Amino acid sequence: MGKYRIAVDIGASSGRLMAGRLANGKLELREVYRFENQLVQRGGHFCWDVAALFAEVKQGLHACRDLGIQPESIGIDTWAVDFVLLGENDELLTEAVAYRDPRTDGMMEEVFEIISKERLYLETGIQFQKFNTIYQLYALKKSHPDILARAKTFLMIPDYLNYLLTGKKANEYTNATSTQLVNAFTKKWDLDLLEKLGIPAEMFGEIHAPKTVLGSLKQELAEELGFDLQVILPATHDTGSAVIAVPELQDTIYISSGTWSLIGVENHFPICVTKALDYNFTNEGGLDYRYRFLKNIMGLWMIQEVRRNYDSVYSFAQLVELAKQAEFDSIVNVDDARFLKPDHMVTAIQQYCQETNQPLPHTPGEVAKCVFDSLVVSYQKAIGEIEEIFEQKFPKVNVIGGGCQNELLNQLLADATGKEVVAGPVEATAIGNLVAQLMAAGEIAGLEEARTLIQHSFAVKTFTGTRGSRV
């Protein structure tokens, strides 16, 4: 029986600590602690409450102790692109402003005046999203140049939480690539780009690859908890961890399904061809310098917001049931920028239908059906783009992450594409996080072994277009 290790996986709507270990040739997983996450308004911006998140991580470690679990190591992953800046005395100079905050409106266009879109893509391989760190930093430079001038350290959210755990400041590679400031080929901060944009290069530290052992807990923290452990860098970008856990990538397109739907394939090198730029595919850095060639689709955020608009009186499962019963066919472009952070999602969907001369959804079931059907249309389009770029058909789609439990969506996707849709593992992100720690500790030899282990440890469910679902 291996020792327990803890994966802390924090998403836009919730976070959890999962304990995992090797047992009888399988990876055993156990949820230890779960907590809510949400945007908070501070100083006129949507922000993340990082102090509260850290308190929850600590709370989760206390819960481990209460359960008699003494973990050997811990790894943290979260969403990407967001960051904090520290000053001379390591004090926080900024809030952790959230990527859905409108501060970056118009910034992408301004950056393109300094460096062309094509050049930026050739150097970084990263998709154009108005919330990328590069545009957030540019927005900060315009609104608060004084803060940027005083900044000594740039840390992304998991880097910052790791700093609070260990006192060590380190930038992790997979998340760093999401900034659009890392050169896709040298895998280092693009100093030339930083200089052109007037962003101080000194605040960026050396980039550390996943599987780096960062070190022990700060002494006072170890004393408070009653135990010490090693902090290890997993792929700290949640999508990076999730894709590690795709059991079999041969001829497979994956969809990491959560707040976002990340659809793509794994690669050994970045693809920065014109078509990839035109279709806005990204080449995010992964474990062992694999690349995730994927695109962001608006994802279950839309249904999370719809649910919130109905005062959360319906569970997600109920919304799925209502969608099944609804007879409604209007389709919205889920990737339209209006859906990124609308004041009211249901109204935004209705307005889109109105503008495009389609019937308006009125009931919760109609709205939910519209969201699911529209997501599938966007998935289908992205699959077509991937197949066009690769000049190859992919017979299988593997949906991983919490969203793969949405059987309606899986079935709709199988029906629409005629492909085999494999759902699972649900806990892909935590699994990917854990296997990186196990690799760092030498308990798993490498990625191939990890994927075989994952295949043996977690059941998946298959959906086909004609025959319906079978286990």
Task: State the binding site for substrate.
Answer: 80, 237-239, 296
Dist. CA 464–CA 459, nearest whole Å: 17
C-beta closer to ligand LFR: residue 4 or 79: 79
| Shortest distance, position 218 Cβ to ligand LFR, whole Å | 27
C-beta closer to ligand LFR: residue 56 or 366: 56
Type of residue found at 182: V
CA 372 remoteness from chain centre: 20
Dist. CA 95–CA 143, nearest whole Å: 14
Mention every residue, 6+ apart, whose C-beta is less than 8 A from residue 168.
162, 214, 215, 231
C-beta closer to ligand LFR: residue 229 or 428: 428
Stretch that binds ligand LFR, among 25-33, 75-83, 143-151, 247-255 (CB under 6 A): 75-83
| Shortest distance, position 129 Cβ to ligand LFR, whole Å | 7
Q: Is 238 designated active site?
A: yes
**Is residue 99 close enough to count as binding ligand LFR by CB under 6 A?**
yes
| Shortest distance, position 51 Cβ to ligand LFR, whole Å | 20
Mention every residue, 6+ apart, whose C-beta is less than 8 A from residue 304.
13, 259
C-beta closer to ligand LFR: residue 183 or 239: 239
At 369, which helix (H) or strand (E)? helix 364-390
**Is residue 133 close enough to count as binding ligand LFR by CB under 6 A?**
no
Question: How many residues of this chain interact with ligand LFR, rule: CB under 6 A?
Answer: 13
Bond into 234 cis (ω within 30): no
**Is residue 238 close enough to count as binding ligand LFR by CB under 6 A?**
yes
The answer to whether the beta carbons of residues 322 and 299 sit under 8 Å apart is no
Annotated binding-site positions for ATP: 12-16, 259, 304, 402
DSSP state, residue 366:
H
DSSP state, residue 414:
H
| Shortest distance, position 22 Cβ to ligand LFR, whole Å | 27
The residue from 48, 79, 189, 463 that contacts ligand LFR (CB under 6 A) is: 79
C-alpha distances in Å from residue 95, one per residue of 85, 184, 262, 329, 330: 8, 28, 27, 42, 40
Dist. CA 347–CA 355, nearest whole Å: 12
Q: Name the 3-class secondary structure at 257.
A: strand
The answer to whether the beta carbons of residues 178 and 133 sit under 8 Å apart is yes
Residue from 159, 238, 335, 373 carrying the catalytic annotation: 238
Binding to ligand LFR, residues 364-423 (CB under 6 A): none
**Is residue 173 close enough to count as binding ligand LFR by CB under 6 A?**
no
According to DSSP, the β-strands at 83-86 and 153-156 are antiparallel
Site string (27-66) toward ligand LFR, x via CB under 6 A: ----------------------------------------
| Shortest distance, position 127 Cβ to ligand LFR, whole Å | 8
C-beta closer to ligand LFR: residue 179 or 457: 179
Type of residue found at 96: A
Stretch that binds ligand LFR, among 77-85, 136-144, 189-197, 403-411 (CB under 6 A): 77-85
Mention every residue, 6+ apart, whose C-beta is less than 8 A from residue 36.
13, 14, 15
C-beta closer to ligand LFR: residue 83 or 328: 83
The residue from 80, 165, 404, 434 that contacts ligand LFR (CB under 6 A) is: 80
C-beta closer to ligand LFR: residue 328 or 339: 339
| Shortest distance, position 254 Cβ to ligand LFR, whole Å | 12
Question: For the chain, how long is the longest CA-to-CA vector?
Answer: 64
Dist. CA 70–CA 66, nearest whole Å: 9
Annotated binding-site positions: 12-16, 80, 237-239, 259, 296, 304, 402
Which residue's structure tokens are 């249904």?
A: 303
Binding to ligand LFR, residues 335-354 (CB under 6 A): none
| Shortest distance, position 325 Cβ to ligand LFR, whole Å | 30
DSSP state, residue 210:
T
Stretch that binds ligand LFR, among 2-10, 74-82, 339-347, 403-411 (CB under 6 A): 74-82
Binding to ligand LFR, residues 282-321 (CB under 6 A): 296
Type of residue found at 400: I
The residue from 174, 177, 239, 378 that contacts ligand LFR (CB under 6 A) is: 239
Q: Name the 3-class secondary structure at 129.
A: coil
| Shortest distance, position 256 Cβ to ligand LFR, whole Å | 7
Mention every residue, 6+ apart, whose C-beta is less than 8 A from residue 126.
120, 132, 177, 178, 179, 180, 184, 282, 283, 284
C-beta closer to ligand LFR: residue 239 or 350: 239
Binding to ligand LFR, residues 248-287 (CB under 6 A): 258-260, 262
Stretch that binds ligand LFR, among 63-71, 89-97, 236-244, 311-319 (CB under 6 A): 236-244
Site string (430-449) toward ligand LFR, x via CB under 6 A: --------------------
- Among the listed residues 21, 51, 301, 66, the one whose alpha carbon sits nearest the alpha carbon of residue 160: 51
Q: Name the 3-class secondary structure at 72.
A: coil
Catalytic machinery residues:
238
Residues that bind ligand LFR (CB under 6 A): 11, 79-81, 99, 237-239, 258-260, 262, 296
